[in-house]
């Protein structure tokens, strides 16, 4: 079992929204109390643009998440991808209990498996492959650490299926952002789609393995509209950032 981080875990409620904190003012997750299944934070909604990039109602069948947080992505996929099995690797053994008690994490061992482990070590020794890997792992000071290394990204690529996609939440305003994206590009042979940072500084990046993804903006808009109808997700300015990211790719593919 990994050493339990020394920081505290707190929640706060404001204007109908419950926030998760790891011993600092940084927000590590959020849930609108009246809509616990919705994705409250913009960056979590942008992570789910992965569903538009791989437009199949039966995708993903297997998901790996590094970092549980407030279980926002876990709950969204649990509700809207009912054939999906999720594996969550969380380093802090107290976080799942907080997610269960305060953020309505479903108790369903058949579809949600939680492992308490260091994500870097777990990824290096894993053998199973996943359709979607979501990496959203920050410490209490909003640092990414070893989760941004080329070695870790290569381990992620090795764990992706033939329809595999990696979705990462990075902090676009940090000094390490350029190094992280370069490491990611090296590990994935340049098959990246980095979105511009949002107003909070979160920058979502997708990296593809297996089958190429054709980036047709009209088709992506249509997929996003369909997802909005099916799930109620509110894309807002995320579609504009997606369009900007696609326009920066000369070959319109990843």
The CATH number given to whatever domain includes residue 110 is 3.40.50.150
Q: What is the mean pLDDT of residues 181-208?
A: 95
Look up the domain containing 92 and give its range: 37-247
Q: Assess if residue 8 is contained within a domain.
A: no
Torsion sign across C-alpha atoms 217, 218, 221, 222: negative
Q: Assess if residue 231 is contained within a domain.
A: yes
Strand 130-135 and strand 160-171: the pairing is parallel
Which segment of 1-5, 11-15, 107-111 scores lowest on mean pLDDT? Answer: 1-5
Going from the C-alpha of 39 to that of each of 11, 33, 45, 98, the distances in angstroms are 17, 11, 6, 18
Q: Assess if residue 21 is contained within a domain.
A: no
Q: Assess if residue 148 is contained within a domain.
A: yes
Q: What is the mean pLDDT of residues 88-110?
A: 96
Q: Assess if residue 253 is contained within a domain.
A: no
Q: How many domains does the chain have?
A: 1
pLDDT above 70 as % of the chain? 93
Q: Assess if residue 16 is contained within a domain.
A: no
Q: Assess if residue 174 is contained within a domain.
A: yes
Check residue 140 and give its pLDDT. 43
How many whole angstroms separate alpha carbon 238 and alpha carbon 211? 24
Look at the pTM and tell me if it is higher than 0.85. yes
Strand 192-194 and strand 202-208: the pairing is antiparallel
Q: What is the mean pLDDT of residues 17-30?
A: 89
pLDDT of 46 > 90? The answer is yes
pLDDT above 90 as % of the chain? 83
Q: What is the mean pLDDT of residues 210-231?
A: 96
Check residue 118 and give its pLDDT. 93
Q: Assess if residue 20 is contained within a domain.
A: no
Q: What is the mean pLDDT of residues 161-173?
A: 91
């Amino acid at each position: 079992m990994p050493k339990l981080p020394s920081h505290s875990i707190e929640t706060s409620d404001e204007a109908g929204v419950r926030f998760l904190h790891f011993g600092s003012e940084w927000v590590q997750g959020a849930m609108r109390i009246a809509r616990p299944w919705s994705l409250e934070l913009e960056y979590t909604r942008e992570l789910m643009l992965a569903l538009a990039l791989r437009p199949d109602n039966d995708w993903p069948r297997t998901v790996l998440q590094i970092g549980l947080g407030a279980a926002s992505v876990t709950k969204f996929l649990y509700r809207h991808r009912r054939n999906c099995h999720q594996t969550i690797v969380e380093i802090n053994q107290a976080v799942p209990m907080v997610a269960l008690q305060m953020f309505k994490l479903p108790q369903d061992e058949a579809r949600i498996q939680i492992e308490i482990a260091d994500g870097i070590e777990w990824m290096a020794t894993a053998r199973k492959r996943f359709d979607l890997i979501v990496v959203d792992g920050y410490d209490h000071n909003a640092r990414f650490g070893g989760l941004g290394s080329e070695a870790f990204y290569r381990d992620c690529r090795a764990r992706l299926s033939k329809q595999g996609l990696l979705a990462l939440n990075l902090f676009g305003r940090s000094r390490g952002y350029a190094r992280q994206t370069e490491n990611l590009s090296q590990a994935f042979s340049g098959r990246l789609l980095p979105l511009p940072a949002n107003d909070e500084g979160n920058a979502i990046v997708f990296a593809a393995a297996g089958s190429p993804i054709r980036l047709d903006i009209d088709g992506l808009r249509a997929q996003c509209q369909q997802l909005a109808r099916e799930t109620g997700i509110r894309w807002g300015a995320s579609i504009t950032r997606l369009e900007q990211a696609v326009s920066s790719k000369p070959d319109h593919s990843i």
